Amino acid sequence: MQNNSIAYGFLAPALLVMTLCGVIPLAFVAFYSVHDTFAGNNFVWVGSTWFQQVLTSPDFYAALARSLGFSLLVLAIEIPLGIYIALRMPARGLLSSFYIILMAIPLLTPTIVVGYIWQVLTLPQVGLLTAGAASLGLDYDMTNPVIVWMTLALMDTWHWTSFVVLLCFAGLRAIPDDYYRAAHIDGASGWAIFRFIQLPKLRFALLLAILLRFMDSFIIYTEAYVVTRGGPGVSTTFLSHELVQTATVQFDLGEGGAISVIYFLIVLCVSWAFFTLIVPGGPGGSANTKVGPS
């Protein structure tokens, strides 16, 4: 075992960086959550006061519910759509590369620009969506919460579905042609091929896609804020907005800290659930290739 301690040496730089930009800030947040501040730098221990305040606040639960609802909504759209497009992609060749390049463009669009694009598309009268809806005799009314939610879901679908497509596409490309030939000989239907060959091979890619899409939509901030400013009313005020509002606008460090800690615990639980599914063996999921020293 002693030659394995060198592993800690290899990990040291990464641990150092993560301590600086992850662990220490998180410790600050935890510290805020159990203290009250007076005159800037005087911290007084207040125990679980902030947590009680947050956990009895209807605003917090409403924002949490909106965030969860939004995540589930975009997952329900993006995952099936992503799988479908990946299944229909040409396996290789120029056309395939061409699609991949174009699909990657929304992924590399800065969040502020994504928000800005959808703000402009939904401008009254001169936006493409509003004008398009008007020409069909529909009223694209950005003061209607249902329309606003639809816009945000559409925006997220535009921004991130390609991520699911590319993950699934990579998974599908790994299936050897022999599998398809064997299925063909057995007279398997398209559905059977999907259900028994493609879907199992997509397990890793799909779990990863669901995890990353869930988390990233759960923490959505900039795009949604640019399009809606959290409104109309508070109908699109998500947990991140609530948190930034509390911590930086009202400058309520304690309450912001408590929201952050609860937020972090939710992230921790969901991540752990997925982690045990994605990575059954060793640390990185490549355990089967390891030869453990005795």
Partner 1 sequence: MTRKFSPAPAIYVALLMVPIYWLIVMSLKTNGEIRGGLTLLPQAPTFANFQLIFSSPAWYLGYVNATIYVLMNVCISIVVAIPAAYAFSRYRFPGDRILFFGFLVFRMMAPAILLVPFVQIFSDLGLIDTYIAVAIAHCFFNVPIAIWILEGFISSVPREMDESAMMDGYGFARFFRCILLPQIAPGIAVTAFFCFMFSWIELLLANALTVVHAKPIGAIMTRAGGVLAADIALLAAASVLSLIPGVIMIVFVKNHLARGFSMGRIS
Q: Which of 74, 86, 206, 210 binds partner 1 (CB under 8 A)?
A: 86
Site for partner 1 in 202-231 (CB under 8 A): 204-205, 208, 211, 215, 218-219, 221-222, 226
Q: Which residues contact 255 (CB under 8 A, 6 or more apart)?
A: 50, 53, 54, 246, 247
Q: Which of 240, 254, 255, 258 binds partner 1 (CB under 8 A)?
A: 240
Q: Which of 79, 85, 210, 224 binds partner 1 (CB under 8 A)?
A: 85
DSSP label at residue 44: E
Site for partner 1 in 95-114 (CB under 8 A): 97, 99-114
Minimal distance, residue 171 CB to partner 1, in Å = 5
**Reduced to 3 states, what is the DSSP secondary structure of residue 232?**
coil
The phi, psi pair for 35, rounded to 5°, reads: -130, 155
Task: Round the CA-based radius of gyration of the chain to a whole number and report it.
Answer: 24
Q: Which of 151, 162, 228, 237 binds partner 1 (CB under 8 A)?
A: 162
C-alpha 201/C-alpha 179 separation (Å) is: 11
Q: Which stretch binds partner 1 (CB under 8 A): 9-17, 47-55, 145-153, 229-237?
A: 9-17
Cβ neighbours of 163 (radius 10 Å): 20
Q: What angle (nearest 5°) sits at the alpha carbon of residue 220, between those of residues 157 and 58? A: 120
C-alpha 73/C-alpha 210 separation (Å) is: 12
Q: Tell which residue, 223, 257, 235, 4, has the closest CA to residue 106.
A: 223
Minimal distance, residue 34 CB to partner 1, in Å = 15
Site for partner 1 in 117-136 (CB under 8 A): 117-118, 120-121, 123, 125-126, 128, 131
Nearer to partner 1, 57 or 109 (CB): 109
Q: Which stretch binds partner 1 (CB under 8 A): 68-76, 145-153, 229-237, 238-246?
A: 238-246
Q: What angle (nearest 5°) sits at the alpha carbon of residue 269, between those of residues 265 and 275? A: 135
Q: Which of 142, 167, 210, 224 binds partner 1 (CB under 8 A)?
A: 167
Q: How many residues bind partner 1 (CB under 8 A)?
A: 113
Q: Which of 55, 76, 170, 192 binds partner 1 (CB under 8 A)?
A: 170
Site for partner 1 in 25-64 (CB under 8 A): 25-26, 28-29, 32
Q: What residue has token string 């004008």?
A: 131
Strand partners of residue 42: 38
Q: Which of 20, 182, 192, 277 binds partner 1 (CB under 8 A)?
A: 20
DSSP label at residue 260: H
Q: Which stretch binds partner 1 (CB under 8 A): 50-58, 71-79, 80-88, 143-151?
A: 80-88
